[in-house]
Amino acid sequence: MNAPSKLLLSLLTFTLACKTAGKEEDRPQAPASEVWLTAQQMANAHLSIEPLAPRPVGGTVMTSGRVTFDDMRVAHVFSPVTGRISNIAAQPGQRVKKGDPLCVIDSPDVGQVFSDLAKAHADLDAVDHEYKRQQELFEAHAGSQRDYETSRSSYERALAEFERAQRKAKLLSAGSDPRTSQEYTLRAPIDGEVIARAVNPGMEVQGQYSGGTALELFTIGELDTVWVLADVFEMDLGTVQAGAQVTVKVVAFPRTPFQGVADWVSGSLDPVTRTARVRCRIDNPGHKLKPEMFAQVAIAVDPRQELALPKSAVLRLGDQTVVFVKVGTTADGRVRFERRPVVVNEELGGEFLPVQTGLAAGEEVVVKGAILLSGMVAS
């Protein structure tokens, strides 16, 4: 027999026993919202009663978050040149080292860049020769100052153009050899796993240096450690500190908690949601956590002492939250239990619920077996 069936059977048995005892002895009946029990009935019901007292509450802030890459361990790879993909060298899931080829691109940009460099070098040689000749004439008082200054300006412009072409060629030199072809080899910028690939052979791609909108071709990263970006409400922000322990759960693995640390708390709030971003660094064994997963985040904070009830003491009847309170004894010695509405704070994580209204310190509350008493209340 499963647990709900056992509980229902106990409730029916207990209710019948109490009603039968009451008829047999012809005792006064409990008023509405109360239950009167003999010592034997209390023993049969296995009730547990505890006084309301200060307890540690608020030891956890519960919120939601989103799994993302660790920004320092991921690279989004774009093509610097416009062209056509001629070969794919890396597949999703493959591990690569920094400098390993990812794909080859046939690009006229490569030839143009190195052609511009050669032309700039030739122009610089020509104006350099003229500049030196004009300098010698000017120093020998055989040439005009105007010709000398004009040649110097031409030399400076040619030098600047050569340096610009040289720097641009340097950007492409690691992935191409202008002496053999116009192919450009796109290489991995970091060590890691190829997490995503967005191109196929024959696909045309736009280059970052061509002024268009470039497509991300590869995503390379490490998933051994990921970030979870949690949104913490303003009311909880004062309790959350960098270095706090964090537990994360996701829908895909509901029984597997992932442990980590909150290593950064945003210095500003989102003006729309009134939340602050908290970055949590989470260990990810087996790479179960994937970027863009939604997560439930529990952030450990310092608890505070408040009058609080165990969760097992609280019952929900319709839109009302109630507990059973021991309020004395009857003339014939039966123990009186009153069903009382209360207001508790259910937003804080933890084993205990802070009491806001309805109870006073020291009142004795049924913390185990309250559901059996609920079945005995007249109304």
Tokens of 325: 């309170």
User: Which residues are CB-contacts of 200 (< 8 A; sequence separation ≥ 6)?
Assistant: 85, 88
pLDDT at 21: 47
pLDDT at 22: 45
d(CA 340, CA 32): 11
Q: What are phi and psi for residue 214, nearest 5 degrees?
A: -85, 145
pLDDT at 275: 93
Cα-based distances in Å from 2 to 210, 301, 312, 315, 370: 69, 37, 19, 21, 20
Residue ranges of alpha helices (H) inside 238-369 are none
What homologous superfamily does CATH list for 61-72+222-303? Efflux pump adaptor protein, beta barrel domain (2.40.30.170)
CB 278 within 8 A of CB 298: no
Closest to 244 (Cα-Cα) out of 210, 279, 277, 271: 279
CA atoms within 13 A on the CB side of 63: 25
CB 303 within 8 A of CB 59: yes
d(CA 357, CA 341): 9
| Helix, strand and coil in the chain, % to nearest 5 | 30, 40, 30
CATH fold group of domain 108-181: Helix Hairpins (1.10.287)
Backbone dihedral region of 87: left (phi > 0), alpha (psi from -120 to 50 degrees) or beta? beta
d(CA 207, CA 370): 70
CB 271 within 8 A of CB 326: no
d(CA 363, CA 232): 35
Strand order in the sheet with 304-310: 53-57, 304-310, 352-357, 343-344
pLDDT at 24: 42
For domain 3-57+305-374, say whether CATH 2.40.50.140 is its number. Answer: no
pLDDT at 46: 85
pLDDT at 151: 83
Dihedral angle computed from the Cα positions of residues 31, 34, 39 and 42, in that order, rounded to the nearest 10 degrees: 140
The residues pairing with 364 across neighbouring beta strands, listed in sequence order, are: 51, 326
As annotated, the residues of the chain forming the CATH 2.40.30.170 domain(s) are 61-72+222-303
The residues pairing with 232 across neighbouring beta strands, listed in sequence order, are: 276
- Three-state DSSP class for residue 27: coil
As annotated, the residues of the chain forming the CATH 1.10.287.470 domain(s) are 108-181
- Residues of the chain whose pLDDT is less than 70? 1-27, 171-181, 210-212, 348-350, 378-379
pLDDT at 299: 92
DSSP for 107-144, written as a single string: -HHHHHHHHHHHHHHHHHHHHHHHHHHHHHHHHTT-S-
As annotated, the residues of the chain forming the CATH 2.40.420.20 domain(s) are 3-57+305-374
**pLDDT one-digit tens code per residue, 144-195:** 888 878 888 888 888 888 888 777 777 666 545 555 568 888 999 999 999 9
pLDDT at 256: 93
